[in-house]
Amino acid sequence: MTFESFAAELKKARVEKQISLMDISASTRINLKFLEAIEEGNFTVLPQAYVRAFIREFADAVGYDPKEAMKKYETLRRPKAAERAMEPLSPAVSPQASAKDSRQVAALVAFFRKNTVFTVIVVLAAAFVVYLVRPTSDAGVVSNIAETPFDKVIQENEAALPRKEDPVPLPAVTRPAAVDSLTLEMTTNDSVWMTVTLDGTRTLEYLFPPNRKGSWKAKETFILTMGNAGGATFKLNGHELGTLGNRGAVIRNILISESALPKP
């Protein structure tokens, strides 16, 4: 079996169920272009944590056993990893090339021994050039590498389709919070795809790499849907919420409000 034939099985299951890719996108909140890539056998379009989560969601949506789908995918990935491990670190050098290089080095050494004055002139000239181009300050060269600011993170979609499912609230511990001052902070430790709905009116979709931070403000609620739920930790008004699920898992409509804050 190849990646292409595995993808064809998933597509066949979808067609037999008479389900469109748009239907799956609406029910799973997965971007349509990622679903198309899965059906084409292009599993390099996302980090592996997302590929696994999306395949599992796709298979479940079309009635294909998710466990069987993941087993086939992992089986196909193993030979690729083994091939990369067997690749040589550097090309082999033939004995003929090595002998030729040795003769060239020996000839060069003999030339400089016979032309001592010429060698001294070359060395002095090189030292003079180094003196002329040396830095005028002892300060080291600093490379300014600007981290991409949070507000420049590429948004795949805005105003994603709303889910009809009821939001799932976090365990409630109540404390009155200041009006208009809920701040949700996130730090990723792995690649994370997620949508954030602010006060039930505006939905934003993101694809974050590892080691990135995000921050959102709302009056009353945040509703989160994300893949690789264990790939990020959250804070609400500085209070640690931790992760919202297991690594690689997809969670939907997690409600975060002031009820998640501790008692005073």
Domain ranges of the chain: 3-83, 153-260
Q: How many other CB atoms are found less than 10 A from the CB of residue 186?
A: 23
The answer to whether 72 touches 1, Cβ cutoff 8 Å, is yes
Measuring CA to CA, how many Å separate 18 from each of 13, 14, 23, 62, 116? 9, 6, 10, 9, 86
CATH (residue range 3-83): 1.10.260.40
Helix (H) or strand (E) holding 19: none
pLDDT of residue 263: 77
Local mean pLDDT, 10-residue blocks, the chain (264 residues): 89 91 87 87 77 88 91 82 51 54 68 64 68 48 39 40 50 51 92 92 91 93 92 94 91 91 78
Kindly provide the b/e burial profile for residues 125-164, where b requires at least 16 CB atoms within 10 angstroms of the residue's own CB: eeeeeeeeeeeeeeeeeeeeeeeeeeeeeeeeeeebeebe
Name the 3-class secondary structure at 191: coil
pLDDT of amino acid 227: 86
